[in-house]
Amino acid sequence: MSADLSTRPPERLIAVLLLATLALPLAALFGVTEVGGFRMFTRFIEYRVLLFTQADGEPPRRLPAERLMPHLGRDARRILGFAYDFIPGEAAATLVDGGLPDLARLGCKLDPNAARSVAIFERRLPSGQPLPRRAHEMACAR
């Protein structure tokens, strides 16, 4: 059975496919996101993620990555699992920033004695120059 190539493809379908192809690069061009844009391949940064819990009257303790891994999905393991020391990845770093509240919540879940949990996201240029750091702190329900 052969396809009939003499008919014109639907114009709406072509328009939708063209818009879908251009959506991420255009969004990157206008600063909505860096994912899909050329800059995602040209601006190299390194990032790391720190997760601390603290019980009342005790110093903060850093939760080891091994404790997080069983609770993370496949993609999150790839992005966060090795990020306990600085690793390269601009696109991955843009994804981590939005997940800090979830990571802090996971810290509370993994440490039942914790009064608070702090997820910290640090970035730097390959030269070592630090970029603005972000953190999310939350009180743990007991």
Between these two residues, 127 and 1, which has the higher pLDDT value?
127
In terms of domains, do 24 and 77 share one?
no
Residues in the chain: 142
Which secondary structure element, helix H or strand E, spans residue 1, and what is its range?
Answer: none
How much is the pLDDT for 58? 92
Q: Which two tokens stand for residue 9?
A: 């493809």
| Residue 108 clears pLDDT 90, i.e. is over it | yes
In terms of domains, do 33 and 73 share one?
no
Distance CA 5, CA 28 (A): 36
Q: Output the pTM of the full model.
A: 0.67
In terms of domains, do 70 and 105 share one?
yes
In terms of domains, do 83 and 127 share one?
yes
For the segment 80-108, the average pLDDT, to the nearest whole number, is 82
In terms of domains, do 116 and 76 share one?
yes
Count structural domains, the chain: 2
In a domain? residue 3:
no
Name the nearest CA neighbour of 68 among 6, 111, 5. 111
Per the structure, the complete domain to which residue 17 belongs is given by 10-42
In terms of domains, do 87 and 102 share one?
yes
In terms of domains, do 76 and 18 share one?
no
In terms of domains, do 67 and 114 share one?
yes
In terms of domains, do 21 and 83 share one?
no
In terms of domains, do 23 and 59 share one?
no
- The string of DSSP letters for 46-87 reads EEEEEEEEE-TTS--EEPPHHHHGGGS-HHHHHHHTTTTS-E
Q: Identify the top-confidence range among 16-20, 28-32, 50-54, 81-85.
A: 50-54
Distance CA 61, CA 55 (A): 9
In terms of domains, do 77 and 21 share one?
no
In a domain? residue 68:
yes
In terms of domains, do 24 and 50 share one?
no
